[in-house]
Chains A and B, each alone.
Chain A
Amino acid sequence: MTTTHTHALLLRSNDFGESDRILHLLTPETGRVTVIAKGARRSVKRFGGNLDFFNHLRIQIEQRRPTSMARLELAKLERTFHGLREHPGRFALGCYVLEALDRLAPEGGARVERERLFHFGLAALDWIDGGTPDRRMRVLLELRTLDAVGLRPELARCVRCASALGPADGPLVPFRVGDGGPVCAACRSPEDQGLPIHLGTLRALQSSLGFELSALARIGLSGNALGEAEGLLRRFLRFHVGLELRSEAFLTQLTLREPEGKLRPPEARP
């Protein structure tokens, strides 16, 4: 029997049988992992209300046989991201990020990558917790999620010849979603029907990758550039997920009404 002590974020939860739950967790130790929490629905003594979304947990999982599903034995609450429970827009964006991680995060992988992905999950929830979820925040989170799971689109170089894009390639560059990036003027052929994107939009997205999530409020992305970035990332995400994320419809209902532009501090609730 192998016992693992680690940290975790809940990505998805399904009821199983009369009293159990199957949990899909993201951990720095194992990456994305599926465990069974015996008695989680029947007894509140063992796990309390800890097995909930937007909770940073410290957990103990036991693998009795290599072929059986690991069992969750302990889940202590480390931190809860309250803001996501108390603001529908933040809740929708948090669910969207968790669902994207659940669909795209690999099981296993190199330790450094697993840790990076887990810390991205925490940082993303922290950023949403303290901000107002508008279209810009959604776009930047989509890009950072793709980056965290190793599916970052190429934004600065031609996907065919790897040369850096310059003014001679623009102002509009065809972006080939299937190939994962833009095509420069020299490599372009008349049959290249990529998504037309302004060079400035690609540069804004590229520069956002160099910032900590908490500092992304400094990135200027609005108007046409925001619309272009939305179209690009949504097509890119759908191409790689294979279908629309279930949480997208609710998120779109809420964020479409939000004004674009700089992040505002969270409004005070009575």
Chain B
Amino acid sequence: MKTAPPIERLVANLKRLPGIGEKSATRLAFFLLSSPERLVTELADAMVRVKSEIVLCEHCFDLTDVSPCPICRDDRRDAKLLCVVEEPADRAAIERSGDWPGRYHVLGGALSPIDGVGPEDLRITELEGRVRTDGVKEVLLATNPNAEGDATAHYLGDRLRATGVRLTRIGYGMPMGGDLEYADHVTVGRSLQNRRELD
């Protein structure tokens, strides 16, 4: 028997989400169908509101519902320390560590010439502006430690060096809980180069 068109439409729309195939979409559609109306309304409302209420922070370009974002408005954060990340998810990961006392700058990606992403596609001019006008003393370049992230960090370093700001890069090495036996020789090598005094 053919499925009712409203259900088919819902399944077709759910299938457009990442990681959702035909079976998962059908299961979700029937779950929503059997759920209380309040749950469905809340879900639909949350989806609409996230699109209409989330904006980019005018200072750091992170996702926020009020601009400037809470971190940029927080006077307890050290405005002289700026951590540069590729994406909002990277900012969230560093923030979860609770170890960064400064503020952030979200570039919006990394240099990727093969994909046609150049400096003009990233928020580099805005970063230079913040460094020059906000009295920034240190810029921590926390782009990902892959080829594109490393190249982006060095490119930013070249552009910012003239400002005299202290430039730092996130550390490389063994992950917590890692096993030396299974690490590749580059990671082990970097861990040795970046060794530190035992506290």
B154 / chain A contacts, CB cutoff of 8 Å: 85-88, 91
Hey, what's the 0/1 contact readout for B138-175 against A, CB within 8 Å counting as 1? 00000001111011001100100000000000000001
B118 to chain A, nearest CB (A): 4
Report yes or no: B147 in contact with A84, Cβ–Cβ below 8 A. yes
Q: Please state if B113 and A85 are interface contacts (CB–CB under 8 Å).
A: no
- B147:A91 contact, CB within 8 angstroms: yes
> At the interface, yes or no: A113 with Cβ under 8 Å from chain B?
no
Which of the candidate stretches A168-176, A190-198, A245-253 sits at the interface with the other chain?
A245-253
Stretch at the interface among B7-15, B58-66, B73-81, B183-191: B183-191
**Interface size (B, Cβ < 8 Å)?**
25
Is A228 located at the chain interface by the 8 A CB criterion?
A: no
Q: A53–B185 contact, CB under 8 A? A: no
Q: A49-B187, A250-B111, A250-B119 are in contact. Are A86 and B150 (CB under 8 A)?
A: yes
Interface residue B98 (Cβ < 8 Å from any Cβ of A): no
For B147, give the chain A residue with the smallest CB separation: A53
Residues in B whose Cβ lies below 8 Å from that of A45: 182
The CA-CA distance from A18 to B24 in the complex, in Å, is 14
For residue B6, CB closer than 8 A to chain A, the reply is: no
Q: A77-B186, A88-B158 are in contact. Are A95 and B113 (CB under 8 A)?
A: yes
Q: Does residue A54 face the partner (Cβ distance < 8 Å to B)? A: yes
Question: CB-CB < 8 A to B185: which residues of A?
Answer: 77
Binary interface encoding of chain A residues 249-266 relative to chain B, with 1 for a CB under 8 A from any of its CBs, else 0: 111010000000000000
A98 vs B112: C-alpha distance in the bound complex, in angstroms? Answer: 12
Please indicate which of the listed interface residues B113, B114, B145 has the most CB atoms of chain A within 10 Å of its own CB.
B113
Which chain A residues lie closer than 8 Å to B151 at the CB level? 84-88, 91
Q: Which of B116, B119, B182, B183 has its CB near the most chain A CB atoms (within 10 A)?
A: B116
In whole angstroms, what is the CA distance A76 to B183 when docked?
A: 10
Docked Cα-Cα span, A77 to B23, in Å, equals: 38
Contact A98 B114 (CB under 8 A): yes
Does B129 have its Cβ within 8 Å of any Cβ on chain A?
Answer: no
Q: Is A253 within 8 A of B184, CB to CB?
A: no
Residue in contact with B145 in the complex, picked from A17, A49, A50, CB distance below 8 Å: A49
> Which residues of B lie under 8 Å from residue A99 when comparing CB positions?
113-114
Q: Give the shortest distance, in Å, between B198 (CB) and chain A (any CB).
A: 26
B107: shortest Cβ distance to chain A, in Å?
A: 15
A74 vs B146: C-alpha distance in the bound complex, in angstroms? 19
Q: Is the CB of B184 within 8 A of A18?
A: no
- From residue 15 to 47 of chain B, which have CB atoms closer than 8 A to chain A? 18-19
A246 & B115 in contact (Cβ 8 Å cutoff): yes
Question: Which residues in B have their C-beta under 8 angstroms from that of A251?
Answer: 113
Chain A residues with Cβ below 8 Å from B155 are 88, 91
Residue of A12, A98, A247 with most partner-chain B CB within 10 A:
A247
Bound-state CA distance A12–B147 (Å) is 12
Instruction: Answer yes or no: A108 CB below 8 A from chain B CBs.
Output: no
Residues of B within 8 A of A88 (CB): 111, 151, 154-155, 158
CB neighbours (8 Å) of B147 from chain A are 52-54, 84-85, 91
In whole angstroms, what is the CA distance A81 to B118 when docked? Answer: 21
**Residues A249 and B184 in contact in the complex (CB < 8 Å), given A53-B148, A87-B154:** no
**A17-B115 contact given A49-B145, A52-B146, A86-B154, CB 8 Å threshold:** no
Interface presence of A105 (CB below 8 A): no
Cross-chain contact B145 with A246 (CB below 8 angstroms): no
- Chain B residues within an 8 Å CB radius of A236: none
Q: Across the interface, do A249 and B118 meet the contact criterion of CB distance under 8 Å?
A: yes
Task: Please give, as numbers and ranges, the residues of chain A lying within 8 Å of B113 by CB-CB distance.
Answer: 91-92, 95-96, 99, 246-247, 249-251
In residues 150-203 of chain A, which contact B (Cβ within 8 Å)? none
A246–B116 Cα distance when bound, in Å, is 5
Cβ contact within 8 Å between B118 and A253: yes
The answer for the CA separation of A218 and B156 in the assembled complex, in Å, is 33
Of B18, B148, B184, the contact of A50 (CB 8 Å cutoff)? B184
**Residues of A with Cβ closer than 8 Å to B?**
12, 17-18, 44-45, 48-50, 52-54, 76-77, 80, 84-88, 91-92, 95-96, 98-99, 102, 246-247, 249-251, 253
12 contacts between A and B (CB under 8 A): A17-B18, A49-B184, A52-B146, A53-B114, A53-B148, A76-B184, A84-B147, A85-B154, A91-B111, A91-B154, A92-B113, A251-B113
